[in-house]
Amino acid sequence: MAAKEELREFLRSRRARVAPEDVGLDVDLGRRRVPGLRREELARLAGVSVDYYTRLEQGRDLNVSEEVLGAVADVLGLRADERAHLFDLAQPKHKRRRAPTPAPQRVRPGVRVLVDSLATPAFVVGRRLDVLATNAMARALICDFDALPPRDRNHARWVFLDPIARERYLDWDLVARENVASLRMQAGRWPDDPDLASLIGELSMKSPEFAGWWADHEVLRQSHGTKRYHHPVVGDLTVAYEALAVPDAADQVLFVYTVEPGSPSEEALRLLASWSLTGDGATSDRAGRADAPPQGR
């Protein structure tokens, strides 16, 4: 989708979710044809003319200021990641990196040593949600991405196209939607990345769920949270994660998992570590299914 269309659809989707009464407007809801705020209402609340806001939403040539964008974001109640996405879409000249042939993503040796030294699952994700480095615990719990062909070492592709991912994540729908929102955010920041466009096109064609959620225009920059897994050997466990930006490495994020001390999840993770060290884990499926043949997709 072209940048102008992205901006238009994003703003329309965000207007639609804001109820007039939520921003102090007294209106007759029974006479409204569309949900959410109208353009003229948003323009008035943001302190700009209707024509100015209309040109902004339509993506016409407009040297929009950060103050105006901030006012629009405030009216729409955008989260920090949504606000950043709006700025990326509305001010592409300041953000766009034209890279027809992006340089390969590489993890610094020191970061690899750090990842390998952690006793809990840890991995590095780069642009397009490419999985760049994993430690033994992450490979045992999630997937041995290192064993997959380079093209398939991508978390979103694995989540949507490998049926094992649906078994591994107890909340697959939530995880899948988060992947879509993360890719949408990256698409706003890197609109000229051909590999990202190719990935989005592939997933849109092969996964109806991806295509449907892509149309929602949700964006996400992960920072912390929890995930629930089902492992075929150790059962169910819940982990907390922290997403940490890797210093001096654009778009690389280090994910580190932890479990609550004394919980069943801690015991499951301890069993997983023992299983992976005994050699049983080495004979499992590279995507994590025990006693099954390797499966790349």
Range from 31-35, 39-43, 49-53, 242-246 that averages highest in pLDDT: 242-246
Question: Which one has a higher pLDDT value, 161 or 296?
Answer: 161
Confidence of residue 2 (pLDDT cuts 50, 70, 90): low
Question: Which one has a higher pLDDT value, 26 or 107?
Answer: 107
Q: What is the DSSP string of 28-91?
A: -GGG-SSSS--HHHHHHHHTS-HHHHHHHHTT-S----HHHHHHHHHHHT--HHHHHHHHHHH-
What is the DSSP secondary structure assignment for residue 260, as one 8-state letter? -
Residue the block writes with tokens 């698409």: 187
Segments of the chain assigned to CATH 3.30.450.180: 109-283
Q: In what order do the strands lie in the sheet with 122-125?
A: 131-134, 122-125, 253-258, 235-245, 224-231
Q: What is the pTM of this model?
A: 0.85
**Predicted local distance difference test score (pLDDT) of residue 25:** 77
Residue-wise over 212-226: b if at least 16 C-beta within 10 A, else e?
ebbeebbbbbbeeee
Give the C-alpha separation, 180 to 292, whole Å: 29
Is there a contact between 237 and 268 (Cβ–Cβ < 8 Å)?
yes
Residue 178 has pLDDT above 90, yes or no: yes
Q: Which of 91-105, 129-143, 203-217 has the lowest mean pLDDT?
A: 91-105
Is there a contact between 140 and 119 (Cβ–Cβ < 8 Å)?
no
**What CA dihedral angle connects 244, 14, 56 and 20, to 10 degrees?**
-140
**Predicted local distance difference test score (pLDDT) of residue 285:** 44
Confidence of residue 297 (pLDDT cuts 50, 70, 90): very low
**Predicted local distance difference test score (pLDDT) of residue 21:** 79
Q: What is the CATH number of domain 109-283?
A: 3.30.450.180
Residue 255 has pLDDT above 90, yes or no: yes
**Predicted local distance difference test score (pLDDT) of residue 288:** 43
**Predicted local distance difference test score (pLDDT) of residue 28:** 60
Give the C-alpha separation, 45 to 39, whole Å: 10
pLDDT > 90 in the chain, percent: 63
Tokens of 159: 């989540």
Q: What is the CATH number of domain 3-95?
A: 1.10.260.40
Distance of CA 124 to the CA centre of its chain: 14
Distance of CA 216 to the CA centre of its chain: 13
Residues 130-141 have pLDDT tens digits of: 999 999 999 999
Residue-wise over 163-177: b if at least 16 C-beta within 10 A, else e?
ebbebbbeebeebbb
Is there a contact between 170 and 260 (Cβ–Cβ < 8 Å)?
no
**Predicted local distance difference test score (pLDDT) of residue 6:** 87
Give the C-alpha separation, 160 to 174, whole Å: 12
Confidence of residue 31 (pLDDT cuts 50, 70, 90): low
When the pLDDT of each residue in the chain is averaged and rounded to a whole number, the result is: 86
Confidence of residue 24 (pLDDT cuts 50, 70, 90): confident
**Rounded to the nearest 5°, which phi and psi values hold at 36?**
80, -165
Segments of the chain assigned to CATH 1.10.260.40: 3-95
5-30 mean pLDDT: 81
Which of 180, 181, 182, 155 is closest to 168 using CA atoms? Answer: 155
**Predicted local distance difference test score (pLDDT) of residue 233:** 94
Residues 256-287 have pLDDT tens digits of: 999 999 999 999 999 999 988 775 554 444 44
- On the CB side of 8, CA atoms within 13 Å amount to 10
